[in-house]
Amino acid sequence: MSLYLEIPEWDNSLPFRAFENQGEIVVPPHWHKEIEMIYVTKGLVNIGYDNQLFQVQEGEIFIFGSGESHYFLASPGSTRIVYQFDLAVFQNYLVNQSDYKDIVTLFEKAENLSRFWGNDVEQEMRSLVEKLFKEVQQKKLGYDYAILSLLHQLLVFYYREIPQKNCTLKEGNFVESTHQKQTLERLNDVFIYIENHFQEVITLEDVAKYVGFSPYYFSRFFKKNTGQNFSQFLTEYRLNQAKYILSHENIPMIEVAERSGFNSVKTFHHVFKEHVGLSPLKYHKTIYGNN
């Protein structure tokens, strides 16, 4: 599904990018040396970070420091803007070269979730990231300089306004602890297994065996790190596959059911209507006709 290490590809002269992301249910565990900001503009996103699961609501921002492992479980219909930038963007403007390490630490120590910043600070940051994305979308003359200016404003904001975490900074944050890395790797294995086998019959026992856990331990492990039990997660994954097919293809419902992993059209119809509120056929007519 993905590599554990992500290497962003920049689309301009700056080591910075911003893009809108919609509807994917899983962005598997990964890390990168770049700073990443997630601005949820619709719905909610579950973010796994530091052995915790954070439910980031519409209008909230979550920011990761350099090398901090994380993964996403996005709700259906959710929309978020993802920003990534390398701290090297500030390299030519540092008063002292030793300041670079201070900036890395600055992001590591800061409170990640905007909910804990205070309303005024959260609103100011929201305004700043919206301006950043507007510059990326419009690409007016001199937009690279506008982005650079806004990133420097963000840095000043971190020095002056963003509160620090109420905990001691872990040593060696760039390389995760052995326990955290193993947890993320096991989750990544689970996500890959689901992606490769969701059209087949999958049991909790199958996946537990695949990752080397007892069914009981795997059930607790999965719930703790995703916020859902395995059955709920698998059903939601299959429903999202079905919704994508229904939105983009005009094929018989029996084929939609098979391709999204449901063992019968009857089961597919019942589960889809229960979770979505519409029958698959009505959903198809509503969405497909507008594409």
Task: For 15-53, write each residue's pLDDT tens digit.
Answer: 999 999 887 666 767 777 889 999 999 988 888 887 678
Domain boundary assignment for the chain: 16-160, 178-288
Q: How many C-beta atoms lie closer than 10 Å to residue 74's C-beta? A: 24
Could you read off the pLDDT of 94-108 as tens digits, one per residue?
656 567 778 888 898
Q: Which CATH number fits domain 178-288: 1.10.1370.30, 1.10.10.60, 3.30.499.10, 1.20.210.10?
A: 1.10.10.60
CATH architecture of 16-160: Sandwich (2.60)
Per-residue model confidence (pLDDT) at position 40: 95
Bigger pLDDT: 217 vs 173: 217
- Are 240 and 207 within 8 A, CB to CB? no
CA torsion sign, 17 to 18 to 22 to 26?
A: positive
* pLDDT exceeds 90 at position 216: yes
Torsion of Cα atoms, 103 then 105 then 106 then 112, to 10°: 130
Q: Which residues pair with 79 in a beta bridge?
A: 22, 42
The alpha carbon of residue 65 and the mean position of all alpha carbons in its chain are separated, in whole angstroms, by 14
The arithmetic mean of pLDDT across residues 105-133, rounded, is 95
Whole-model pTM over 0.75: no
Structure tokens at 289: 């006709």
Q: What is the pLDDT of residue 208?
A: 93
Please give the Cα distance from 284 to 291 (Å, whole number). Answer: 10
